[in-house]
Amino acid sequence: MEVVITKDSLSASAKAADLVAKAVRSKPDSVLGLATGGTPLELYKRLINMHKNEGLDFSKVKTFNLDEYIGLKPEDRQSYNYFMRENFFSHVNIPDENINIPDGMTANIPSFCKEYEEKIKRAGGIDLQILGIGSDGHIGFNEPTSSLASRTRIKTLTQKTVCDNARFFGGDKSLVPLHVITMGIGTIMDAKTIVLLAFGKNKAEAVAKMIEGPITSMVPASALQFHPRTKVFIDRDASEKLVNTSYYDWVFERKPEWQKDI
C-alpha cells in the first residue's frame, strides 16, 4: 500500500485525477470502478476539466459504480445514479451503454448482483477502482463483518453509516434507505489498481486501522493490505492517527525518478 499524505484534499484529488487521466490516455478503453459520496467530488471536477480543456477522451471507457441504495429510482436526487449523472457523467463523453450502476429498483436482487459480477468479468475486469472509506472502515457499502471474499450483494447499513449519510437526505436519518447493493470486498480486490481517497478528521481512525491495524472484517478496508497495487491519498487531518506518518512522507520524497508517475 502506498500512502501519500498531501497538504489538503485538493492536492490529493489532483494526484488521483492525474492517475485516472494517465490510465485513460494509455488505455482508452479502460474499465473504471467509481465511487460516490463527498470524497470523490473534486476528483470528478478535475476530470471534467481535463475532458473540456485538455481533450481527455472517455468515449471508450466503461464504468462500474460500487453501490446503490435499494428502493431509490435513478431520478431520485439521493440515488447514486442521480449523483453520478449530476457530478460526472453528464459532463464527459462516456457512452450511456458503457455506464453501469447497481439498480436499486431491481425486482430480483440476487440475480441482478450475479449479472453485475458477470458484466465486470465480460468487460475484462476493473483496471482502476476509485474508493472512499466510511468512518466505520467500510469500502463500497461493505460494512464491518462483511466477508473479505464477498461479491456484489445486498447489505444492511450500520447506524453509523446511516448517520454519516443523513447529510445527503436533508439531515433526516429516517429517510436514508437501510438496504443497498454493493460490490463485495472480493470484487473490489480484483481491481488491478485501487486509488483510495480520505479527507478530514472524521476519517482518521478508519484510515489508521486500514493502513496500520490488523486485517479484519471489522475494518473492511484493512483487506486492502492484501492488494498488490493500492494507492492511498489522504490529507493531513485524515492522517493524524497514523503512527508511521514520517516514514510515508520520507518514502514519497525519495521515490525513484522512474517510479514518480506510476
The DSSP-derived string for 81-123 is HHHHHHHTGGGS---GGGEE---TT-S-HHHHHHHHHHHHHHT
Answer yes or no: 143 catalytic: yes
Closer residue to ligand PGA in complex, CB, 94/206? 206
Nearest approach, Cβ of residue 87 and ligand PGA (Å)? 12
Nearest approach, Cβ of residue 132 and ligand PGA (Å)? 3
Closer residue to ligand PGA in complex, CB, 148/249? 148
Contact (CB, 8 A) for 196 and 223: no
Q: How far is CA 249 from each of CA 89, 93, 157, 235, rounded to the nearest angstrom?
A: 35, 37, 35, 12
Q: Give the active site residue among 68, 103, 117, 136.
A: 136
Determine if 38 is a binding residue for ligand PGA (CB under 6 A). yes
What is the distance between the alpha carbons of residues 213 and 223, in angstroms, rounded to a whole number?
A: 10
Answer yes or no: 138 catalytic: yes
Determine if 134 is a binding residue for ligand PGA (CB under 6 A). yes
User: Element (H or E) spanning 185, and its range?
Assistant: helix 185-189
CA geometry: angle 117, 92, 232, nearest 5 deg = 60
Determine if 132 is a binding residue for ligand PGA (CB under 6 A). yes
Quick one: which segment of 23-31, 35-43, 54-62, 72-80 binds ligand PGA (CB under 6 A)? 35-43
Nearest approach, Cβ of residue 54 and ligand PGA (Å)? 26
Active-site annotation, residues: 67, 136, 138, 143
What are the residues binding ligand PGA (CB under 6 A)? Answer: 37-39, 132-134
